Chains A and B, each alone.
Chain A
Amino acid sequence: MIVDLRRPRMLSVGSFEVGIVDSGEDHEDQAPILLLPGTGGSTKRHYGFVHPMLSLRRRVVGVDFGPAPSPDGAMSLDDLRDQALAVAEDVLPGRRFLICGYSLGAEVAALVAAERPDLVEGLVLVGGWLRSDAHQRLRNSVWRTLRREDSAALRDYMTFCAFSSAYLAARAPEELERLPERFVLGDLIDQHMRLTPTIDLTEVVEKVVAPTLVVGCSLDQMVPPRATKQLFGAIADARYAEVASGHAIHTERPAEMLRLVEQFASEPTGTPAGSILRGITA
């Protein structure tokens, strides 16, 4: 039996076209999980490993954020929140769910959890941050300059930022060559990149009451663990885990990410608030 229950389809939310990747069997005693990808990403790109493995044991719904219809259209965190909530309402009407966000998706997930405590049973924030700071804005501004200039260095720069030095150093030459090609450049990432430097969740996350798992990536050069840890401090019922990975945890350490998400999902309050979770020592 090859398990592939993915049921992709589209949903119109205001002027956005949102992709839905719904898979796995629903069990009444198990909250489904909503997966939110990061900047310019998709369920497939940011949860390529976690999504099918998670859905072996539970209902999992991936949200593929759509671009704003006009290329120059501004996009707000509220727009992304609306898309996530519309998918939840469409696919999981009346259900409480867990929500897992990666990178920019973590910012959206935190906003959803803050505003809809009635819906969110647990929150997982992977590679997220509390507020965009000087380091974040500097990287963002370099990216946007390279993008505006249509620089040949843009993809290399993205590769350099996304992966840990250890991961890059260990790749075979042909694999290394393919890494920069994986980034999709288009309206979606442009709009997301305009949004990210403006994010400040300081007040928002004070309202998060759901049990939360904050996952930092210890080798992350885009969202360093320093920035992710601030969420651990800011959210009342948060616990923290760190993975030896660059920002591209979905590629560098997907099995470890799966373990954290699945373990938290099976018992969100299994560890007390303030806990720092120990990883596996191989």
Chain B
Amino acid sequence: MGIVDDDRDHPTEVDVIIVGAGFAGLGMAIRLARSGEHSFLVLERGADVGGTWRDNTYPGVACDVPSHLYSFSFLPNARWSRVFSPGGEIQEYLRRAAEDEGILPNVRLNADMLAGTWDAVGQRWTVTTSGGVYTGRYLVLAAGHLADEKLAQIPGMDSFSGELFHSARWNHDVSLEGKRVGVVGSGASAIQIVPAVAHQVRELVVFQRSAPWVVPRMDGAYTEAEKRLFERAPETIQDLRNDIFWTFEQQYAARRKIEPFFSAIRKFATRHLHDQVPEGELRRRLTPDYDLGCKRMLISSDYYPALQQPHVTLEASPLAKIDGTTAVSAAGNSFELDVLVFATGFEAAEPPFAHHVTGKDGRSLAAHWAAGMHALNSTAVPGFPNMFVLNGPNTGVGHTSTLFLIETQVEFVLSAMAHARAGDIGTVEATSVAEAGYQQEVRDRSAGTVWVDGGCKNWYVDPRSGDLTVIWPDFAYVFRDRNGSFDPDGYELVRGEVSA
């Protein structure tokens, strides 16, 4: 392409800068390109596209949403191998999507956003990255919830003489064969890792802070006949997507603690535990003490059996300190370990990227979000004109595919840009009043749900405010009906020069 991006005095100018090349960033890019807008760049700090699916390569990694729903509606894939496809296949899907849609020339890899600043005079965003400087009329932040690993600081961590890494930064150079391995955490990653590595390790210890609710994984491989049908009659893919979507939507009633749905899902999960784990100490340790859904409900049919192998220990206590090769739980039990895997999740509620973005009054997005993330339509932030956040505040879901919300946001951003173009609008900015109203609306919607009223400590609630800031606390369809297209009401629109 011959593009030189590293001249600070002559930054690369485009209409739209997208930060992040995961599902959200690539989805935005593809929809922009398909709408005829080609003046955009995707800035990606990693060495490849794919986001969380590039980062998470741990043994057993797979999505816990069926692949036919967990993919772009505008890029159906007839060839998914299984109901729940492995992570590598999802990464391959994303990479191929970027290639097939001709997005890769617009992607700058190894370009970590160091600063994103609104230039009020030029009415543009300037984004300084480790790989160059860029300016754009619009800034779309698509960094996601599952991007920055949360690595809890454990006393004595530096003294650990074995191998230690986070599940999203799996060290494939380390062989687990015959090793004593500790897994810290019992969430979505841990319950995939444990069954996948149990057979090769000498000893396995799982440090569990709280027991997850687990339901059976109704997985299965698609036959060649089924894949060919999807290819030959693509409407069958959409029918399947709709079917999965509406079936999952029913689960929201349980998250809202509506009977008999709330009790039914708890009974279903309890029966799974009882079917797989005999009465006794282990079952007691695996019995959750909070409402189902308060933390992510997990799906696995091989986690409980893996825990019952003689060389596997479920330590129902968090990791408290490390001393050389000894890992000690809060309960005071010591384990000699060669490898420690931190399956401790991600910084979802306090995204690090917010520290690097500065709005029109010189305040950082992190300062604006000091009491927790919030945004009008879950997308636009007052004081940050022409900026949109994808998969940011209140866009996570516990009962369906988060891509449904991401796609909704992508269409929202496209319609906001189209609105500006049609009306010679230079800047689009959420008003504080409208944003506060939306925040209250989200609070009202979250009242009575398991996420705020489920008797657990989860990563969806911001500890600083007690507000639910990560999850969209209603049906996914309500998100689409509410936020599916740009409504100028609640926004300050300023006329301005519109670049071609």
What is the bound-complex CA distance between A2 and B252, given in angstroms?
Answer: 14
Partner of A282 from B253, B404, B475 at Cβ < 8 Å: B404
Task: Report yes or no: B246 in contact with A256, Cβ–Cβ below 8 A.
Answer: yes
Choose, from A29-37, A49-57, A83-91, the stretch at the interface: A49-57
Interface string of A257-280 (1 = CB under 8 A from B): 001000100000000000000011
B294 to chain A, nearest CB (A): 14
Tell whether B295 is near chain A: CB-to-CB under 8 Å.
no
Tell whether B152 is near chain A: CB-to-CB under 8 Å.
no
The A-contacting residues of B in range 43-84, CB under 8 angstroms, are 69, 73
Residues of A within 8 A of B241 (CB): 282
What is the bound-complex CA distance between A56 and B256, given in angstroms?
Answer: 10
Task: Report yes or no: A282 in contact with B245, Cβ–Cβ below 8 A.
Answer: yes
What is the bound-complex CA distance between A253 and B243, given in angstroms?
Answer: 9
What is the bound-complex CA distance between A254 and B258, given in angstroms?
Answer: 14
CB-nearest residue of chain B relative to A4? B259
Listed from nearest, the 8 A-B pairs whose CB atoms lie closest are A282-B245, A255-B249, A282-B241, A1-B448, A282-B242, A52-B258, A255-B250, A256-B246
Tell whether B281 is near chain A: CB-to-CB under 8 Å.
no
CB-nearest residue of chain A relative to B68? A282
Residues of B within 8 A of A4 (CB): 259
What is the bound-complex CA distance between A280 and B244, given in angstroms?
Answer: 12
B287 to chain A, nearest CB (A): 21
Partner of A253 from B69, B246, B262, B481 at Cβ < 8 Å: B246
Task: Report yes or no: A259 in contact with B259, Cβ–Cβ below 8 A.
Answer: no
Interface string of B441-456 (1 = CB under 8 A from A): 0000001100001000
Chain A interface residue number, banded: 20 to 34
Residues of B within 8 A of A53 (CB): 253, 256, 258
Task: Report yes or no: B69 in contact with A282, Cβ–Cβ below 8 A.
Answer: yes
**Interface size in chain B (residues, C-beta < 8 A):** 29
Tell whether A281 is near chain B: CB-to-CB under 8 Å.
yes
Residues of B within 8 A of A255 (CB): 246, 249-250, 252, 475, 477
The B-contacting residues of A in range 86-142, CB under 8 angstroms, are none
What is the bound-complex CA distance between A56 and B404, given in angstroms?
Answer: 24
CB-nearest residue of chain B relative to A244? B242
Tell whether B239 is near chain A: CB-to-CB under 8 Å.
yes
What is the bound-complex CA distance between A166 and B244, given in angstroms?
Answer: 12
Interface string of B224-249 (1 = CB under 8 A from A): 00000000000000110111111001
Task: Report yes or no: A280 in contact with B448, Cβ–Cβ below 8 A.
Answer: no
Tell whether A152 is near chain B: CB-to-CB under 8 Å.
no
Tell whether B480 is near chain A: CB-to-CB under 8 Å.
yes
A36 to chain B, nearest CB (A): 22
Task: Report yes or no: B480 in contact with A166, Cβ–Cβ below 8 A.
Answer: no
The A-B contact count (CB < 8 A) is 64
What is the bound-complex CA distance between A178 and B326, given in angstroms?
Answer: 53
Tell whether B108 is near chain A: CB-to-CB under 8 Å.
no
Residues of A within 8 A of B238 (CB): 281-282
The B-contacting residues of A in range 157-184, CB under 8 angstroms, are 166, 170
Task: Report yes or no: A280 in contact with B258, Cβ–Cβ below 8 A.
Answer: no
Residues of B within 8 A of A254 (CB): 250
CB-nearest residue of chain A relative to B256? A56
Residues of B within 8 A of A253 (CB): 246
What is the bound-complex CA distance between A1 and B453, given in angstroms?
Answer: 8
B91 to chain A, nearest CB (A): 22
The A-contacting residues of B in range 131-171, CB under 8 angstroms, are none
Q: Footprint of B on A, CB under 8 Å?
A: 1-4, 49, 52-53, 56, 166, 170, 244, 253-256, 259, 263, 279-282
Task: Report yes or no: A281 in contact with B448, Cβ–Cβ below 8 A.
Answer: no
Interface centre among B238, B259, B262, by most chain A C-beta atoms within 10 angstroms, is: B259
What is the bound-complex CA distance between A259 and B253, given in angstroms?
Answer: 13
B429 to chain A, nearest CB (A): 28
Task: Report yes or no: A49 in contact with B477, Cβ–Cβ below 8 A.
Answer: no
CB-nearest residue of chain B relative to A257? B246
Tell whether B257 is near chain A: CB-to-CB under 8 Å.
yes
Residues of A within 8 A of B252 (CB): 255
Task: Report yes or no: B253 in contact with A52, Cβ–Cβ below 8 A.
Answer: yes
Task: Report yes or no: B481 in contact with A281, Cβ–Cβ below 8 A.
Answer: no
Task: Report yes or no: A282 in contact with B73, Cβ–Cβ below 8 A.
Answer: yes
Task: Report yes or no: B249 in contact with A244, Cβ–Cβ below 8 A.
Answer: no
The A-contacting residues of B in range 73-106, CB under 8 angstroms, are 73
- 5 A–B pairs (Cβ distance < 8 Å), ordered by A: A166-B243, A259-B477, A259-B481, A281-B73, A282-B245
What is the bound-complex CA distance between A53 and B253, given in angstroms?
Answer: 7
Interface centre among A2, A259, A280, by most chain B C-beta atoms within 10 angstroms, is: A280
Contact A49:B253 (CB < 8 A) given known A255-B246, A255-B475, A282-B244:
yes
CB-nearest residue of chain B relative to A2? B257
What is the bound-complex CA distance between A244 and B448, given in angstroms?
Answer: 31
What is the bound-complex CA distance between A253 and B245, given in angstroms?
Answer: 10
What is the bound-complex CA distance between A53 and B255, given in angstroms?
Answer: 12
A213 to chain B, nearest CB (A): 15
Residues of B within 8 A of A263 (CB): 481
Residues of A within 8 A of B480 (CB): 280
Task: Report yes or no: B245 in contact with A259, Cβ–Cβ below 8 A.
Answer: no
A49 to chain B, nearest CB (A): 6
Task: Report yes or no: B475 in contact with A259, Cβ–Cβ below 8 A.
Answer: yes
Residues of B within 8 A of A279 (CB): 242
Task: Report yes or no: B447 in contact with A1, Cβ–Cβ below 8 A.
Answer: yes
What is the bound-complex CA distance between A255 and B432, given in angstroms?
Answer: 33
Residues of A within 8 A of B243 (CB): 166, 170, 244
A251 to chain B, nearest CB (A): 10
Task: Report yes or no: A3 in contact with B448, Cβ–Cβ below 8 A.
Answer: yes
Residues of B within 8 A of A281 (CB): 73, 238, 242
What is the bound-complex CA distance between A259 and B73, given in angstroms?
Answer: 21
What is the bound-complex CA distance between A52 and B453, given in angstroms?
Answer: 19
What is the bound-complex CA distance between A141 and B311, given in angstroms?
Answer: 66
Residues of B within 8 A of A244 (CB): 239, 242-243
Residues of B within 8 A of A282 (CB): 69, 73, 238, 241-242, 244-246, 404
What is the bound-complex CA distance between A4 and B261, given in angstroms?
Answer: 12
